Amino acid sequence: MKKLIFIFAFLFLSGCATDNPPQIIGMPRLHGGFLQDTISENLPEEVGPVAYTVWYKRGVQAELYEPLDGAYIGAWLAPENTIRVFEYESGKRHAVYVSEVFLGDEIDISWLLHCIASLATPMFVVHPPNNPELDDIPIGDLILHLAKRLGSFNLPMFVAFMPEHDLMPAEYSLLFRSSRNAFRAHAPMAAFVWVAPEHTATPQSAFYPGHASVDWVALPLLANWSSDYYFTDVLSMFENFYNAFHEYKPVMVFPFGVSHFTLGDYNYRLNPAADEISRLFNEFKNFPRLGMIIYADAFTILRGFSDDFSVSREPVLINAYAEAISSRHFLSSLERYVDKSTRWARSAYKGYFWEGRIYISQNTLENELTISVPRQTIEINENNFVDSRRISGISINICHNSKVIFVENTP
């Protein structure tokens, strides 16, 4: 069996302003209070059109444990690293911790009790059976036993079902769907997670079991060093995956890691790794439906990897990680009951700010907001855009500091 590496959203919007007098219309909430808008005194120096990220509001069906705002933080720890020590070092309680279980094996009760004592939610990575004595037992029976066992704890949990396997697409999809049904019946508090085998996966991919059987989708992101000694561009990989799935499901990065040592050249790169951790966590805030990030602290050379992705072994890295997750955007506890019908989504198309005017992509208007486009458009970087002043039926807010445009339909 080939082992696969496992590999909102909020910006802190100080200095956000509208093009006209400030008006907060549907701006994202920051944990109980609306963001206050102020006129920015430092507008971007214009040497041409400046690209902005566009967020728009749309109806959405919230999935099990999906947070209203922000993203849960979690960790996958090595057995020798306890939850208590890791949270002391990182300076923050984590919402989720990860444990592995092979079908047919017993649950690690000691770990589960530590998880409960830390007020954290368990996430189980389910692997195919690896005990030869179980070869004669149908895999469906093993799955049913696991569902009943996990259901007996009566706890919220996440189940990442068989991220590694040697099944054909049709076999895997059928097994995933039947397993989801077993858990619905016997462990209804378990959210089922589909881990993509590659970043190019889409809802049309052969291995994807379908929206009805999946609660969350996950993409492994392990940033290692390329041959020219730069980090692999995991953000671009994630952005493509996110754009493919976020309209349908909440997205998690699982697991996430940044390499600081590789056997390729036996060099430590602690400061570049610390900077990359900070940069990526900051960038993750730009994806409104990225609901969970689980750091792979267990992924070290000792586990058989050629790179070391851990943060807890080096003070420089744990300090950088602690600073990166200190933002209130990153959540320490599970939201069990979220009632919402609309939320912010990240547009697949950029907007522009140019000569004091806001320009919205024709694609955003037609494909995402489904509103009519004025006849007069302007071409920017070979794509058609509309001056926002010519668009009726929408409200627009802009944050120059974070380069974000908020677009919302008005009644």
Tens of pLDDT along 97-116?
Answer: 999 999 999 999 999 999 99
- Please give the share of the chain, as a percent, with pLDDT higher than 70: 86
Query: Strand 383-387 to strand 121-127: parallel, antiparallel, or no bridges (unpaired)?
Result: unpaired
| Mean pLDDT in residue range 340-362 | 87
List residues bridging with 397 in a β-sheet.
Answer: 406
Indicate the average pLDDT of the chain: 85
Q: How confident is the model at residue 306 (pLDDT cuts 50, 70, 90)?
A: confident
Q: Which CATH superfamily is domain 71-331 in?
A: Glycosidases (3.20.20.80)
| Mean pLDDT in residue range 25-44 | 37
| CA 222 – CA 140 distance, rounded (Å) | 32
| Mean pLDDT in residue range 298-302 | 84
pLDDT of 29 strictly over 70: no
Top-confidence residue, 42 or 411 = 411
Question: What would the pLDDT profile of 317-350 be if each residue is shown by its tens digit?
Answer: 999 999 999 999 999 999 876 666 677 888 889 9
| Mean pLDDT in residue range 214-227 | 90
Secondary structure string (H, E, C) spanning the chain: CCCCCCCCCCCCCCCEECCCCCCCCCCCEECCEECCCCCCCCCCCCCCCEEEEEEEEEECCCCCCCCCCCEEEEECCCCCCCHHHHHHHHCCCCCEEEEEEECCCCCCHHHHHHHHHCCCEEEEEEECCCCHHHCCCCHHHHHHHHHHHHHCCCCCEEEEECCCCCCCHHHHHHHHHHHHHHHHHHCCCEEEEEECCCCCCCCCCCCCCCHHHCCEEEEEEEECECCCCCECCHHHHHHHHHHHHCCCCCEEEEEEEECCEECCCCEECHHHHHHHHHHHHHHHCCCCCEEEEEECCCCCHHHCCCEECCCCCCHHHHHHHHHHHCCCCEECCCCCCCCCCEEEEECCCCEEEECCEEEEEHHHHHHHCCCCCCCCCEEECCEEEEEHHHCCCEEEEEECCCCEEEEEECC
pLDDT of 311 strictly over 50: yes
Q: How confident is the model at residue 45 (pLDDT cuts 50, 70, 90)?
A: low
| pLDDT at res. 44 | 53
Residues of the chain within CATH 3.20.20.80 domain(s) are 71-331
pLDDT of 207 strictly over 80: yes
